[in-house]
Amino acid sequence: MQLQQLACFVAVVDEAHFTRAAQRLHLAQPSLSAQVRSLEREVGGPLLHRRRGDVRPTEAGERLLPYARRILADAAAASAEMRRVRGLETGVLRVGATPSAGTALLPPVLRRFHDAHPGVVLHLAEAGSRDLVEQLAVGALDLAVVVLPVAAHGGALATTPLLRDALVLASAADGPAPVAGPSAAAGDLADVELVLPGQGYDLRATTLAACAAAGFEPRVVADGGELDVVVALVRAGVGAAVLPRTVVDGAGGALR
């Protein structure tokens, strides 16, 4: 059975007249009649008593009628739902972000998106860039804010640079500076007690790689925390950490 056949059948029953049903559906009457006959062949028998000026459903037509109405209603509802999804009136947006981006960048952006599209549910995932890229590649996420560069996965992923963020050596604002001067090179970290985030964080890999390139093992005093824990430990004076400038600026003056 086809939706057009069912729509023609229901219209004829509602109007009790082929001509009025054809006008309602904006069809030529021969086309409407052909659709009904095709449906009757499909079900194997007549669905309508055809009397001049008075068309009524047969017993088979009465049995089919509620199903036809339900199918047409479901199809209309499905079509409307797809229009709402395409128009961002409803649906789910799955967004991934590194911890630093999730804390410093996404909240105001997602607030504006929610205000514009309140019917869309936001599902958020926080992880390192490599994990997020893997989730994108298998379709578990729709988009993600990651640290470039990333694996292209055979051209399946597209990247758009959003901003450049400096990495800084952050320490508690009310404690002594870990290094002298306004800037620090990787070699200056040799005597600094460091707080490192856990496995999977780009900051951890970057910090350890910089230390290795400078020829020394870092002095790690706290290891393995999430980013907010790292920031809290640095704020408390446990040690210093390599952090994005946006994270330090977002700490409200507690870090320098």
Q: How far is CA 191 from CA 176, 183, 209, in A?
A: 14, 15, 16
CB neighbour class for 232 (10 Å; exposed up to 12, middle 13-18, buried from 19) = middle
> Does residue 230 have a pLDDT over 80?
yes
CATH of domain 88-163: 3.40.190.10
More confident residue, 253 or 63: 63
From CA 127, how far away is CA 96, in angstroms rounded?
Answer: 7
pLDDT digits (tens, 9 = 90+) for 122-154: 999 988 888 898 898 888 999 999 988 887 677
Residues whose CB falls within 8 Å of the CB of residue 35, separated by 6 or more in sequence, listed in order: 4, 5, 8, 9, 27
Q: Which CATH class is domain 3-67?
A: mainly alpha
Q: Strand pairing of 91-97 and 54-57? A: unpaired
pLDDT digits (tens, 9 = 90+) for 37-56: 999 999 999 999 988 778 99
> Does residue 9 have a pLDDT over 90?
yes
From CA 15, how far away is CA 9, in angstroms rounded?
Answer: 10
pLDDT at 99: 81
The domain spans of the chain are 3-67, 88-163, 167-251
pLDDT mean across residues, the chain: 89
Two domains, one topology: 3-67 and 88-163: no
Q: Which CATH class is domain 167-251?
A: alpha beta
Position 110 confidence tier, pLDDT thresholds 50, 70, 90: very high
